[in-house]
Amino acid sequence: MRVLVVGGGGREHALVWKIAQSPLVDKIYCAPGNAGIARQAECVEIPAEDIAALRRFALQEAVDLTVVGPEAPLCAGIMDAFAARGLKLFGPSRKAARIEGSKVFAKTLMARHGVPTAAFRTFDSTDRAKAYVDIVGAPLVVKADGLAAGKAVIVCRTVEEAHKAVNRIMIEGEFGEAGGQVVVEECLEGEEASVLALTDGQTIAVVPSCQDHKPAYDGDEGPNTGGMGAYSPAPVVTAELLCLIERDIIVQTVHAMNREDRAYNGVLYAGIMISDDTPRVLEFNCRFGDPEMQPLVLRLKSDIVPLLLAVTEGRLDEAEIEWDNGAAICVVMASGGYPRKYEKDKPISGLEEVEQMEDVVVFHSGTRREGGRILTDGGRVLGVTARAPTIAEAQKRAYQAVEKIHFEDAHYRTDIGWRAVGR
Ligand code: AMP
Ligand code: GLY
C-alpha cells in the first residue's frame, strides 16, 4: 500500500512512525512533514491546506490511503474532494467536520440532543452578547465561533474582561472570520481529559483516555498553548466515567450527527471537563489530538493501518484493537517564548543519544534539516515520549531523555503528568 499523511507536526510524526511499522505499507509520503518524519516517509512540499495539490499528488502517485492530521483541510472539505475522485481518505466530510469548525454548531447540536455541556448562548451581535454577560455575571468563557488554532477561547474572571473578549472577537477582528459569532458560556471548574473514539458512523471504538497540559508553564500557569505534554491513561477517567462518557457523549453525538445528516467518519475527539464525577463537553475536534497522539501510538499494540482502513471503509465492526496495559507520556520541548514570539533555526543536539534509550521515541513537531544538522523550526519543537508500566515510571524516563536533548532557549514543563502521579 501507498499511504499519504497530511500535516507536519508531532501528531503526524506519531502517525507516520506507527504506519511505517505496518507490513501492509511499502511507501509513505507526508505533506509537508518535518525533519523527523523524513526518516520514515518521503516529505513532499505541499502545504496541508492545499487540497487541490494534495489530490493531484495522490492521483499521480496512486496513493491507496490518505490520513489527515490537522483540522483545517478537513473543515475545508478535503475528504469530499478526495472521495469525488475515488480516493480513500481517513477523516470526516466537510459537513461532519463542522463539529470542530463551528463552535456555534457544536454547542447547538449538543443542546438539541441532550449532550452534557456548559450552559451557553450564541450571539451575532456585540450588544446582545454584552447584555447577556451583564445578566449572568462572571466568571464566563467567551469563544469565537470558527477555527482559530485553539486561541479564540477566552476565560474571563470579570464582566469587564468578558466585554473586552467580545470586542476582541467581534469588533477588533483579532481572530478574523472565526469571530463572526460568539459563544458565551458558563465557566466550568474541575479536571480536563481527552476522550477520543474511532467511528465509521455505526460502530464506535473508544480509545484509552488522555490528559493534555495546555498552559505554558509549570503548575498550569501562563498562557494557553497547543499543548505542552500529554499522557495516557488519565486516572481521572475511571472505568465508570469512561462508560458514562461513551454512552452520554460519544454514542449520543455520533447518533446526533447521523440524525442531522452529517454522518461522522474518522476520529471524534471530545475535550471533557470532569466536575464531581460529572463529565461535560468543552469542545469537539474532528481529528487526533496533538500531543495526545504521541503517547497513544506508543500504547497501540495493533497495526494502525487496518484500523484506519476499517474506519474509512465502514467496517470498524470487523477490526481488532489491542492496547498496551501500561502508560505513556509525552513532554513537549518548545522554543523559548512560545506561545508568544520565539526564534527559529537553533541547532538541536542529543537526539542520537536518546535513540539508544529503550521505550523512548522523540516525535518531531517544528524541525527541519539543513545539511547534517537538525534545526528548530516552530513553537513546539519535539515531543519526547516514553512508555512504561506506570505513569510515574514513564514520566521519569521521558525526563531522562529530555535532559539529554539541547537547543538554545529550549522551554518545557517539568511537571507533565503531575495530576496522575499525585493520585
Ligand atoms: P477549547 O478549545 O474549547 O477546548 O478551549 C480551550 C481550553 O479553554 C480548554 O481546554 C479549557 O481549559 C478552557 N475552557 C474552554 N471552555 C471552558 C469552560 N466552559 N469552562 C472552563 N474552561 C474552559
Ligand atoms: N491537544 C489539544 C488538541 O489537539 O486540540
DSSP string, 193-226: EEEEEEESSS-EEEPPPBEE--EEEGGGEEEE-S
Query: Does residue 255 contact residue 266 with C-beta atoms inside 8 Å?
Result: no
Atom of ligand 2 nearest to the CA of 289: 4
Pocket test for ligand 2, best of 212, 267, 281 (most atoms within 8 A of CB): 212
Atom of ligand 1 nearest to the CA of 189: 21
Query: With bands split at pLDDT 50, 70 and 90, how would you rate the model's confidence at 150?
Result: low
Q: Looking at the domain that runs over 191-318, which CATH code has it been given? A: 3.30.470.20
Fold (CATH) for 2-91: Rossmann fold (3.40.50)
Separation of 185 CA from ligand 1 center, angstroms? 10
Separation of 153 CA from ligand 1 center, angstroms? 7
Separation of 371 CA from ligand 2 center, angstroms? 32
Alpha carbon of residue 100 to chain centroid: 11
- What is the spatial distance between Cα 84 and Cα 94, in angstroms, rounded to a whole number? 13
Query: With bands split at pLDDT 50, 70 and 90, how would you rate the model's confidence at 123?
Result: very high
pLDDT in tens, 297-334: 999 999 999 999 999 999 999 999 999 999 999 999 99
Ligand 1: which residue has its CA nearest to atom 11?
282
Q: Do domains 125-180 and 327-422 have the same CATH topology?
A: no
Spans of all domains in the chain: 2-91, 125-180, 191-318, 327-422
CB 290 near ligand 2, within 6 Å: yes
Query: With bands split at pLDDT 50, 70 and 90, how would you rate the model's confidence at 224?
Result: confident
Nearest bound ligand to CA 154? 1
DSSP-based three-state secondary structure for 359 = coil
Give the pLDDT confidence score for residue 323 in this predicted structure: 98
CB contact set of 150 (below 8 Å; sequence gap of 6+)? 214, 224, 226
CB 292 near ligand 2, within 6 Å: yes
327-422 carries CATH number 3.90.600.10: yes
From 29-33, 117-121, 123-127, 413-417, the region with the lowest mean pLDDT: 123-127
Nearest bound ligand to CA 188? 1
Query: With bands split at pLDDT 50, 70 and 90, how would you rate the model's confidence at 354?
Result: very high
**Helical axes 94-101 vs 252-259, angle rounded to 10°:** 130
C-alpha distances (whole Å) from 356 to each of 18, 20, 359, 393 are: 19, 19, 9, 18
C-alpha distances (whole Å) from 17 to each of 5, 37, 170, 276, 300 are: 11, 8, 41, 38, 12
Atom of ligand 2 nearest to the CA of 230: 1
Overall average pLDDT of the 253-257 stretch: 98
* Residue 53 CB coordination number (10 Å): 14
- What is the spatial distance between Cα 412 and Cα 416, in angstroms, rounded to a whole number? 9
Overall average pLDDT of the 340-352 stretch: 97
Fold (CATH) for 125-180: Dna Ligase; domain 1 (3.30.1490)
Pocket test for ligand 2, best of 153, 207, 268, 269 (most atoms within 8 A of CB): 269
pTM beyond 0.85? yes
Give the pLDDT confidence score for residue 174 in this predicted structure: 85
**Main-chain dihedrals φ then ψ at residue 20, nearest 5 degrees:** -65, -20
Ligand 1: which residue has its CA nearest to atom 16?
282
Ligand 1: which residue has its CA nearest to atom 18?
187
- What is the spatial distance between Cα 6 and Cα 63, in angstroms, rounded to a whole number? 12
Separation of 100 CA from ligand 2 center, angstroms? 11
C-alpha cell at 163: 466585554
Pocket of ligand 1 (CB under 6 A): 118, 141, 150, 153, 155, 185-188, 192, 214, 271, 282-283
Q: What share of the chain is helix, strand, coil (3-state, %, to 5)?
A: 35, 30, 35
From 70-79, 169-178, 195-204, the region with the lowest mean pLDDT: 169-178
Q: Which helix (H) or strand (E) holds 188?
A: none
Q: Give, as one character, the DSSP assignment of residue 318.
A: G
Ligand 1: which residue has its CA nearest to atom 3?
283
Atom of ligand 1 nearest to the CA of 143: 3
- What is the spatial distance between Cα 118 and Cα 110, in angstroms, rounded to a whole number? 10
C-alpha distances (whole Å) from 165 to each of 162, 189, 267 are: 5, 20, 31
- What is the spatial distance between Cα 264 and Cα 257, in angstroms, rounded to a whole number? 6
Overall average pLDDT of the 200-229 stretch: 95
Ligand 2: which residue has its CA nearest to atom 3?
289
